[in-house]
Structure formats: structure tokens, C-alpha cells
Chain A
Amino acid sequence: MGIAEESSMKTTRFTPSKLNLVLLLLALVAPFVLYPVFLMKVLCFALFACAFNLLLGFAGLLSFGHAVFLGTGGYVTGYLMINTGITPELGILAGTLAAGLVGALYGKLAVRREGIYFAMVTLALAQLAFFFYLQAPFTGGEDGLQGVPRGHLFGFIDLANNLQMYFFVLAIFLFGFWLIQRTVHSPFGQVLKAIRENEPRAISLGYNVNDYKWVAFIISAGLAGLAGSTKTLVFQLASLTDVHWHMSGEVVLMTLVGGMGTLFGPLVGAAAIVTIQNYLSGGELGNYIHIIMGAIFVVCVLAFRNGIVGQFRKVLKQNF
């Protein structure tokens, strides 16, 4: 029944350390070859998508309002960096906690409904937050918070330098990715998967499924906030775009394209979508961006439900 039955226990535990090592090496070399700001954007969205996928792929919960957590993290970090002059690591910590807090509140409400209702509840709650941020005095309304200073990490590493910023962002991403991996493979993660596969059975085994979903929601929201906080530092901007429902849709698309319920899927999906968007917005096709995103959605759902990583794994399993 679950939306991502592809990833049974065995396959998710299959995380080849060689692949991890190669990817890490690539990530270390990449900023010397590619534009660091682009790479940081990919990493931020990858973390966002990984956080979202923890809910959708491993707990079977489709949140259509995850932009709220990205935006909350961004606004809190941006506001603190502009107005208090704290160091960036504290700013990011505050943004992450704030997003986790909103997640605790929203999650408590959302887990009271299931399936399609869960998606509608999260979307509606996100819209509530959107109107709040639109009117609240500290978000800068339509303009957003501009010129957020990146500051000095721990007080002495200047993050205005893109290369130093990149490695900071990479460290954050790796931490988030590691945390998700730990969560998925922990006993807690196994219970989440059990809930995804057969909720009534999980209940009959004595698990309080709503509490499990709630905790998963908080972790996911907090990590989405971490991504938003980091993104705000990278682009020195927190704006309504980040809390708009378009953004909630985008993270769904990234996860879908990459492969739901796979650990690396959201990373691949985020890289693919960010690349496409960057490519489109530069050229004549910029006006067609929403049409193309919508078309990718439709094609993926109709013909490519496993996503890039899921499909790759399927082919690998069939042929080797």
C-alpha cells in the first residue's frame, strides 16, 4: 500500500561505503570546478528534500506544506543575523529550533488525519503561516529580509568567502544526511516503515503510531528549517518565495524525480531540478518554467514513479 514500497529493509541498509566515499571526494573537489553558489544551492535543496523524504518515503506521509519550515528557519536566522550580530552557527541553530517548534505544533495537528487529508491539512496550515509572514512586521513583507550578513563562523572564519561558505554548507548537509540515515536505520525508523506498510498492524502491535509520526514530523521540520537557515545565509535573503506553496510543491517534485524512499534520491532529484531551473531561468525558456515543472510532475507520476535512484537500483537488481 505504501507510496514507496521499493525500499525494503534490505535495500536501504545497502549503502555502499565506496559510493559514499566517491561522492564525498566529488563534493570536496566540486567547488574548484563548478560555481560554489550553485553547489551550495543544490546542497541546501538536497537537505530540504532529504528532510521531506524522511516523512514521505519512510513514514508514508505526504506533507504539502514543507515550505513553512524552510521559510521559518530562513526568517529567524535572517532576522537574528541582521539585528543581533550573533555568529552564523548560532543563527542557524536558532532557525532550526524555531522550525522544529513550528513542526511540533503543526505536526501534532496534522497527524490527526491520514492520507490525502494529511496533505490538505499541511497545505492549509502552511498557507496560514504564509499569511502570517506576509503581515508580520519582522519579515519585511513582500521585500523579504535582504542583505543578511553571512558573518564569521565561530567568530573567526569569514563566510563572505564563497569557498569557506561552501565547506560550511557541506558540513551542515553531511550532518543532516547522517542524521536522516541514522533515523531511518534506527529501531525508530523501522517502526516508521512498519506504520507506512501497515498502520492497523502497527497499532495492534502496541505502537502509538501518532506519536511516532509526530516525532518524525518534528525531525523532518527541524532539518527543513536547517536547510532554510543555511539557504538564507548563502543567498543573504529570506523572502516569501520560501514559504509559498510553490516551494512545497518543488520539494515534492525533487523527491519524486530522485526517488521516494531512497536515501540518495532526494539528493539526485534536488541536483536535477536545481540544474534545470538554473538552465531555464537563464534562457528563453524561463517563461515556461512552471509549465515544464508541471509536465515533469505528470510524466514522473505516469511513467517514472521509482525516480532516478529507484529506477537505477531496479535495473541494477535485475541485471546483476
Chain B
Amino acid sequence: MATFLGINLFGLFGQLLVGLINGSFYALLSLGLAIIFGLLKIINFAQGAMYMLGAFAAWMALNYFGIDYWLALVLVPLAVGAMGILMERVLIRPIAKEDHLYSLLLTFGVALMLQGVFTHVFGSSGMAYAIPEALQGGIKLPFMYLPAYRAWIVVASIVVCGATWWMIEKTRLGAYLRAGTENAQLMQAFGINVPLMVTLTFGFGVALAGFAGVMAAPVYSVSPDMGSNLLIIVFAIVVIGGMGSIGGAILTGLGMGIVEGLTKYFYPEASSTVIFLVMVIVLLLKPAGLFGKEA
């Protein structure tokens, strides 16, 4: 029963689930990057560090203040988002008119500093965060065992991504955002407070990374370099998908997670590189990215 065409279904579905979970994090992070890029035209190199910050904030909230997972899931993204707002106002705003490569370097510096601070305080070995009580255990399906927390990750991140997509594509606020992406100056002429919108957009994009960090705390060990390794993969995913569309960023993130999961099952040696290889192929065949507009 557990094999089909010589394939071990238990193993296959297991790896697919792992892929889907990784894909959830890819989607959340690349969604944040895409939202920020749309309005600010910059790439936030500190997005990975913000994700790491989210995980550490959840860990510290639990161990220092007794704030449980569910409350952290609300509070931490707010706190990380506030960090993002501060960063945008204090650091990024002053160089907004310079070449956008400078903001990349600036956020890279911020990422180094954050990672350095947490390495200094907590060491690089990583810490455990317990799965919340309500989500312990799992469900036995005919073809696999599904741990409840892992199912929760996939569902929650799809809901958050979907809600973000809906907000941007279907609401008035989202219409402002899309208009700002097209022509911020004209928006301002119509009486929209663009600088405020830029700040809030940056804060929201960063908060998504913080949210992903809280979600990740119980499944990955909470360590200072958890963000940087993830971010480089997310960069490749952003190149694959192109940052032109919000839906594209979400789909590419999830899709690449699944591709990675499948590779882990069929050819594990390539699992850490497969996404980069996909990027190479996309660059050769469709340089603008799967969802990108032709330049």
C-alpha cells in the first residue's frame, strides 16, 4: 500500500510536506520583499535578519516574559514591523534619492549588525522553542503521518499570503499601493500621503518576515544565521518569479519549496542547490522571470 510504481509513498509525502513548509517560508519572505520592492524599488537585505529577529523575539517573549506562542504570533510581527518603520525613517529615507544599490548595501550592513548582536548574546548554536500545546501531536492519514504544527504552518501562511494578496489586489488601500507602484508622484499630487504609505509598506513587508520568524521558531532551531541562509534562497526565488506580481511571488515561493522537497526525495545530493539551478535555467529561458514583465 505504501509503495506506488516502486516509490515509497511515506517518504515521498513526507518530503513533499517538508517542501511545502519551506515553501511557506519562501512565500512569506518573497512576498514581503516584493511588496517593499514595488513601492520603494529597493531590496531589503535585512529581510532575513528580520525573520531571525522574529524567531528570537518569540523565544525571548516566552522565556523572559511568559508570553505564549499565540500572543507572540500577534505581538512579534507588530514589534518587528515597528523596527522596520524605524529603520525606514531613520536609515533608508535619507538615501531614498541615491542609487538604489546604496540601500541594498545599507540594509546589508543592518543585517550584519543584527546577526552579529544575536551571535554575540546567544551564541551560534541555536535554541529550541516548544510547539504550542494545542498543536502537538498529529493526524494519521492513510499515506502519511501529518504533524499538527506542520499542517498549521502551511495553512496559516497560505491564509496570510492570501489575505495580503486580497488586500493589495481587491481593496481601496491596495489600489493606492498599486497606483503608488506605478507613479508615486502623481499619487502625491492627488493628495495621498505617499511618504507615510512608503513607511507603512516597509513596516508591513518587514512584519511579514517577523511573522514567518515566529512560525519558524518551533520547527527550526532559533539561531542567528537562520535568516541569512534562507534569504539567499529567497533571492534566487525572487529572480525566478520576478517581482512584478504579488501572486507570482507567493506561487513561486510555494512552488520552489515543493521542487526542493521532490529533489530531496529523488536526488538528495542536489537538494541544497536545486533552486539555484532552476534560477539558472530561468535566466537562460526567460530572463525577466516567470511572472516578470519583459524589460
Contacts and interface: CB of A to CB of B under 8 A. Distances in A.
Q: Note whether A and B form a binding pair.
A: yes
Interface string A94-131: 00000000000000010011111101110111011001
B101 A124 contact: no
Contacts of B235: 120, 123-124
A198 to B, nearest CB: 14
B239 A295 contact: no
A171 to B, nearest CB: 33
B293 interface: no
Interface in A284-314: 287-298, 301-302, 305
Interface in A115-161: 115-117, 119-121, 123-125, 127-128, 131-132, 135
A3 B95 CA distance: 12
Contacts of A294: 108-116
B109 A295 contact: yes
Nearest to A2: B99
Nearest to B235: A120
Summarize B's interface: helix, strand, loop or mixed. Answer: helix
Nearest to A113: B287
B155 interface: no
Given A124-B232, A131-B273, A290-B119, A3 B102 contact: yes
A31 interface: no
Given A109-B283, A294-B109, A119 B104 contact: yes
A121 B279 contact: yes
A256 B108 CA distance: 13
Q: Is the interface of A mostly helix, strand, loop or mixed?
A: helix
A244 to B, nearest CB: 10
A249 interface: yes
A252 interface: yes
Interface in B261-295: 269, 272-273, 276-277, 279-280, 283-284, 287, 295
A292 B116 CA distance: 9
Contacts of B287: 112-113
Given A289-B116, A291-B117, A116 B42 contact: yes
**10 smallest A-B Cβ distances: which pairs?**
A297-B109, A294-B112, A294-B113, A290-B116, A291-B116, A128-B276, A124-B236, A298-B109, A112-B287, A120-B235
Given A117-B239, A124-B239, A127-B233, 6 more contacts: A121-B279, A128-B273, A249-B108, A249-B112, A294-B108, A297-B112
11 contacts: A114-B295, A121-B239, A124-B235, A245-B228, A290-B113, A291-B116, A292-B116, A294-B113, A294-B115, A301-B106, A301-B109
